[in-house]
Structure 1
Amino acid sequence: MTPVITETPPAGHAPAGPASAGTVGWDAWGMIVILTLAYTVSFIDRQVLNLLVEPLKLAFDLSDTRLSLLQGLSFTLAYVVCSPLMGRLADTSNRRNILVGGVALWSLATALCGLSRSYWQLFAARTGVGAAEASLTPAAWSIIADRFPAHLMPRALSIFMMGPYLGGGLALIFGGLLLEYAEGRNFPFLAPWQFVFLAVAVPGLLIAAALMLFVREPVRKLTAGEDENTAMPLAEVGRRFKANGRFYFCFYGGMSGIVITLYAFPAWMPAVLMRQFGAEAATVGVQYGALVLIGGSAGVLTGPLVARWLEKRGRLDALMIVPLISAAAVAVLSALLWWAGSYGAALALGGLASFAYSLPMAGASAALQIVTPNRMRGMASALYVFIISVVGLGTAPTIVALITDRIFADESMVGHALGVTCAVSAVIGFVLLWLAQKEYARLISDQGLVGDQG
């Protein structure tokens, strides 16, 4: 069934350049730059709190447990709960306006973190950050899918998905500089940690303004049977998920296997390097942090190039081949942790793993957009975010800890626990992704999307 591309703009909107063309204009790439900045700032705003652990403990007399709730539960619970709601909005409403509102609201919530005078005020403000940031992925992925033709979508998404790696690194770098600056001055009514929250909130407000001024809502590319002016009923969304359930189940499950390694390595690799090889925390932070930043960014940019190389050699399902390569590489690298006999070897394995587990992220996201009808892309993306957040962020670090404590009963064996967790999850991910790849090939053939792949 050949998809019908709707080029008539919705009422009240000037259409952005058609994505069905073989090339796109600088305005589309400018949009990617703005969206990438928004994604980067979102990670700065969510992770800068990790740098303020000691000041916050002193300010509110917090235990590690109560502080961990600020780092995890307050943000993650709101993010996970709101993701499906934001996904539905992305399918039924103006996505540019959702992005503007989301960026502005999480920036204001970050500022409220800096104005908090009690633990529960800070907890509520962090909840606001999580709820608002849930708007970004479903709306951004959907708008990118409509703004770019299929063969350019992985490249566009690879740039956008550098945001977490850039934001995670910049949160530490600029957060530290801002804290150092604030500690050297006497601000009236503001502690240094409050100044940091207020300062990192400002870029988000500027990005919200840039989204409003320079990004247009693109025309939705609709498949046969979709109405540009009518949202797909939830019952129909459910029916389509069920009809292609084998693909979605295997895709979500397989990518979760890779995402477990994405969260487990950064969470426990520093402990491996410090406990097994006696490295100093500062040394590990700089060296491993730099490898994660460089390796992750390189991986997410390289994935689409590998997919394009495979496409030119006749693999029209290349976007789903790259995740298989990633899962296999991560499984091997994780197993090798058992035999890492030196600090340098373990550090190198950690850096290579960062490259390997980030390799498929852009291409897999593009594949999900390509085979999903426009009016349910937001829900498909939100469900993806929901699952990988629960499985990856919610369980990966804990699984490693439980294996270390309950099975090995020796904290110096954390490297073995990390290796087991990531190797097993990567193998499971490989099997599920292999099944998803078969279904993906069938779907792009059945939907007449073969020509869009190359």
Structure 2
Amino acid sequence: MTEQLLPQNPRSTRYRNYVVAICTAAYLLSFVDRQALALMIEPVKRDLSLTDTQFSLLSGLAFSLLYAVMGLPIAALADRRSRPVIISVGIALWSLATALSGLSKGFAHMFLARIGVGVGEAALTPSAYSMFSDMFPKDKLGRALGVYSLGSILGGSAAFFIGGYVIGLVKDVDALSLPLVGDVHAWQLTFFVIGLPGLLLAALFFLTVRDPERRGLARDASGAVRKVAMREVFTFLRGHARTVFHHHAGFALSAVVLLGLMAWAPAFYLRTFGMTPTQVGYALGVVVLVANGSGVLFGGRLVDRFTHRGHPDGAMRAGVVGAVGMAVPVILFPHVRPVWLSLALLAVTMFFSSFAMPASSAAVQLLSPNQIRAQVSALFLLVLSLSAVGVGTTLVALVTDELLGSEARIGTSLSLVYGISAVLSIGLLWLGRAPFRRSMARQERASAQEPRDAVADGTAG
């Protein structure tokens, strides 16, 4: 039965494109489940009696904490075990956790459900990155990662559209009665609608995706594939410390802008312009779909173009272009009028901030040896998640609540926090180009000697 469901030859272009497509669909669904909460900020705050800071913990820290921590052991499994199985289990887990968010009666209940979403989603990206690196040559990897990154954009856009539609549909209904569940608010129903379909995708993934053959595996003296311990991951990272620092810090700050705006832009437009949740959902859905969608595709192609032209630091260069492009509009968009001009500047910000998604991923995959690739990706996602999703979103809430003392001044918080983040990202990524080139040269030399040296190479650089 499984063989009949597989799309032809697993080595064919058609099959590789199918794997990218279904991974992108899973990524899309993960962002729908992750992002829908942002649009429902006001009814959730009202019904659960939350402050901005508490809400930021639900949308940021609750998700990112276990997403980051669980990424490491799950990635270690992905470097050794079946990656499609790991992804299938993750999809099922986060889908159930999203649906359970709709049963929340207080802050603690919602916090635990959001942790479950984070744990499930931690299984997807490191495993998908690792599979892509075994399926595509270097000069086509950026495009594949760009298409995959598009899933997050489509998911974020879909979350706004679906959330806006459902909220608009039941805006005049105080409560709905569901079988087995009882009375629920409109925002709770939204979680059921977006969460449960993921179970079908989990089953499809399990039945139709094979684990690709791993390339460039390190071997021992007898020729057998050598098991790589976690300490070798840290040895590799220490050996490329300058590269890792500039890459992780620079791209994390770009992600602070991108993911922070995904979380707080709805609240800004609701409070500043008096828009309804439905209006905000549709407006931001269009912005994310067009601006972020074109941004990740353009960013992925830019990485491939730089690499094809002989620039080993092509991923870092693309990151610099994106950071420069978003620096000015992210400061201006909260302070201009009318609303269409603000949305236009937000779209420019989102376009350039999206370059970081395929660029950062390509850099990790190109540099990391095969047997530690998923674990290195997970460590990067740990930094990214805690800084961008955890600290970045909460910092805006703290500035709004504690420094400015008014929810109405959220626009000033956005300009301050994300403007500084963009400028720092430019500097770190620019300075990281030379260390990245040296690291790539060392890895090429190690790979040319013996595959086993590529993992253990930890010489200073």
Calculate the TM-score normalised by the size of structure 2.
Answer: 0.81
Q: CA deviation at 1:352?
A: 0.2
The structure 1 residue matched to 2:203, chosen from 200, 206, 209, is 209
The corresponding residue for 2:453 is none
* 1:434 CA drift (Å): 1.9
Within 2, Cα distance between the matches of 1:56 and 1:284? 16
How far apart, in 2, do the equivalents of 1:272 and 1:67 lie?
14
Alignment of 1:255-274 (within 5 A): 255-270=251-266
C-alpha separation in 1, matches of 2:134 and 2:356: 21
| 340-349 vs 254-263, greater mean Cα deviation | 340-349
Matches within 5 A, 1:120-159: 123-159=111-147
2:451 paired residue number: none
Contact 2:217 2:225 in 1 (8 A): no
Is the 2:142–2:358 contact (alpha carbons within 8 Å) kept by the matching residues of 1?
yes
* Equivalent position SS for 1:280: coil
Contact 2:88 2:206 in 1 (8 A): yes
Displacement of 1:374 in angstroms is 1.2
Per the alignment, do residues 409 and 213 of structure 1 end up closer, same or farther by CA in structure 2, a change over 3 Å counting?
closer
Which residue among 376, 381, 396 is the counterpart of 1:380? Answer: 376
2:65–2:390 Cα contact (<8 Å) kept: no
Return the alpha-carbon distance in structure 1 between the equivalents of residues 59 and 103 of structure 2.
17
Whether contact under 8 Å (1:316, 1:450) holds in the other structure is no
After superposition, what is the alpha-carbon deviation per residue over 1:294-331, rounded to whole angstroms, capped at 9, x for unaligned?
21111001112223333454434322211011111122
Which of 23, 31, 49 matches 1:43? Answer: 31
- Kindly tell me: are residues 228 and 332 of structure 1, through their superposed partners in 2, closer, same or farther at Cα, counting changes over 3 Å? farther
2:95 alignment partner AA = S
Contact 1:162 1:300 in 2 (8 A): yes
State the 1:443 CA deviation: 2.6
* 1:426 and 2:422 matched: yes
Match of 1:444 in 2: 440
What's the offset of the Cα at 1:211? 1.4
Deviation for aligned residue 1:64 = 1.2
Alignment pair present for 1:62 and 2:45: no
Query: Separation in 1 of the partners of 2:235 and 2:376?
Result: 13
The separation in 2 between residues aligned to 1:221 and 1:212, in whole angstroms, is: 22
- How far off is 1:247 after superposition? 0.8
Structure 1 unmatched ranges of 5 or more: 1-15, 19-23
d(CA) in 2 for partners of 1:78, 1:253: 20
Kept in 2: contact 1:255–1:433 (CA 8 A): yes
Identity of aligned residues (%): 35
Give the whole-Å Cα distance in 1 for the aligned partners of 2:72 and 2:86.
Answer: 14
Matches within 5 A, 1:189-208: 189-190=180-181, 191-192=183-184, 196-208=190-202
- 3-state secondary structure, aligned to 2:444: coil
Structure 2, unaligned stretches of length 5 or more?
1-8, 449-461
TM-score (norm 1): 0.82
Q: Tell me the residue number matched to 2:275.
A: 280
Q: Is the 8 A contact 1:327 1:430 kept in 2?
A: yes
1:242 to 229, 238, 242: 238
Q: Secondary structure in 1 aligned to 2:48? A: coil
Return 28-37 or 264-273, whichever deviates more: 264-273
Amino acid at match of 2:421: S
1:239-291 CA distance string (max 9 Å, x none): 11111111111100010121111133334445555666x45345444324421
Given that residues 91 and 231 in structure 1 are in contact (C-alpha distance below 8 angstroms), is that contact kept between their aligned partners in structure 2?
no
Whole-angstrom CA distance in 2 between matches of 1:301 and 1:450: 32
The partner residue of 2:395 within 378, 399, 412 is: 399
Secondary structure, counterpart of 2:138 in structure 1: coil
In the superposition, relative to structure 1, how do residues 186 and 341 fare at CA in structure 2: closer, same or farther (>3 Å)? closer
The answer as to whether partners of 2:157 and 2:284 remain within 8 angstroms in 1 is no
Give the whole-Å Cα distance in 2 for the aligned partners of 1:273 and 1:57.
Answer: 16
Aligned-pair distance for 1:336? Answer: 4.1
Q: Which is further off, 27-36 or 338-347? A: 338-347
Matched residue of 1:87: which SS? helix
The CA deviation at 1:29 is: 0.5
TM-aligned CA distance change 1:342 to 1:370, over 3 Å: same
Please tell me whether the aligned partners of residues 146 and 357 of structure 2 are also in contact (alpha carbons under 8 angstroms).
yes
Counterpart AA for 2:180 = F
Distance 2:343 2:413 in 1: 16
The more displaced of 160-169 and 278-287 is 278-287
1:309 aligns with 2:305: yes
Moved more, 423-432 or 334-343: 334-343
Q: 1:289 to 1:316 in 2, by over 3 A?
A: same
- Partners of 2:299 and 2:355 within 8 A in 1: yes
Moved more, 169-178 or 215-224: 169-178
Partner of 1:110: 98
Which residue in 2 is equivalent to 1:10? none
**Residue number in structure 2 paired with 1:219:** 213
Q: 1:408 to 1:71 in 2, by over 3 A?
A: closer
